Amino acid sequence: MIVGKWRQWVGRMRAKGEARNGTIARVLENAGWLLAGKGVGAVLSLVYLGLATRTLGPAAFGQFVLIIGIAQAISSFVSFQTWQGVVRFGMPHFQAGESGKLANVITLTLALDYGGAIAGCLIALAGTAYFSDYFGWDAAVRREALLFAIVILLSARSTAVGVLRLHDRFGVGAVADSTTAIVRFVGAILAVAFMPTVTGFLTAWAASEVATAAVYWWSAARVSKGAMSLFRWRGLRQAAVENPGIMSFLWITNASTTLNGATKQLTTLIVGLVAGPVAAGNYRLAHQLGQALARISEMLSRSVYAELTRVHFGDMKANLSKLFRSSVRLTAIGAVTIILLLITIGRPALGLIAGPGYAEAYPLLMLLGTAAALGLGGTSFEPALVATGRAGLALRLQFVATLVLAALLALLLPRLGATGAGIATLAAAAASLILYGWAAFRAMRAVGDRGAI
Looking at residue 197, its pLDDT comes to 94
Among 55, 358, 43, 50, smallest CA distance to 200 is for: 55
What is the number of domains present in the chain? 1
Longest dimension (CA), the chain: 76
Contact 400, 362 (CB under 8 A): no
Looking at residue 205, its pLDDT comes to 96
d(CA 117, CA 80): 10
Looking at residue 203, its pLDDT comes to 96
Residue 80 per-residue DSSP state = -
Domain for residue 269, yes or no? Answer: yes
Looking at residue 231, its pLDDT comes to 53
Looking at residue 174, its pLDDT comes to 75
Question: Residue 412, exposed/middle/buried by CB under 10 A (0-12, 13-18, 19+)?
Answer: middle
Q: Amino acid letter at 328?
A: V
Domain for residue 106, yes or no? Answer: yes
Domain for residue 3, yes or no? Answer: no
Looking at residue 187, its pLDDT comes to 96
Written as tens digits, the pLDDT of the chain (453 aa) is 433 433 343 344 344 444 444 444 454 455 454 555 556 676 788 889 889 999 999 889 999 999 998 998 898 888 878 888 888 888 888 888 888 888 888 888 888 998 999 999 999 999 898 888 888 888 899 999 999 999 999 999 999 988 888 887 867 777 788 899 899 999 999 999 999 999 999 999 999 999 999 999 998 888 877 666 655 666 677 888 888 888 888 888 777 767 776 677 778 888 888 888 888 888 888 887 777 665 554 554 444 445 555 554 444 445 566 666 666 766 677 777 778 878 887 788 888 788 777 777 888 888 988 888 888 767 677 777 776 777 778 888 888 888 999 899 999 988 888 899 999 999 998 998 888 888 888 877 776 545 433
Which residues touch 58 (CB under 8 Å, ≥6 apart)?
Answer: 278, 281, 282, 357, 358
d(CA 399, CA 391): 12
3-state secondary structure of 248: helix
Cα-based distances in Å from 296 to 300, 337, 434: 6, 11, 20
Contact 162, 80 (CB under 8 A): no
pTM of the predicted structure, to 2 decimals: 0.75
Question: Residue 167, exposed/middle/buried by CB under 10 A (0-12, 13-18, 19+)?
Answer: middle
Looking at residue 418, its pLDDT comes to 87
Which residues touch 433 (CB under 8 Å, ≥6 apart)?
Answer: 374, 375, 377, 378, 381
Domain containing residue 63: 22-449
Domain for residue 100, yes or no? Answer: yes
d(CA 316, CA 307): 11
Domain for residue 348, yes or no? Answer: yes
Count of residues in the chain: 453
Among 371, 359, 377, 173, smallest CA distance to 288 is for: 371
Domain for residue 92, yes or no? Answer: yes
Which residues touch 286 (CB under 8 Å, ≥6 apart)?
Answer: 350, 361, 362, 364, 365, 367, 368, 369, 422
Among 252, 244, 246, 233, smallest CA distance to 114 is for: 233
φ/ψ (deg, to 5) at 226: 95, -10
User: Could you tell me where the beta strands, DSSP code E, fall in 6-152?
Assistant: none
Domain for residue 6, yes or no? Answer: no
d(CA 395, CA 402): 10
Which residues touch 425 (CB under 8 Å, ≥6 apart)?
Answer: 267, 367, 368, 371, 405
Domain for residue 93, yes or no? Answer: yes
DSSP assignments along 152-193, one per residue: HHHT--HHHHHHHHHTT-HHHHHHHHHHHHHHHHHHHHHHHH
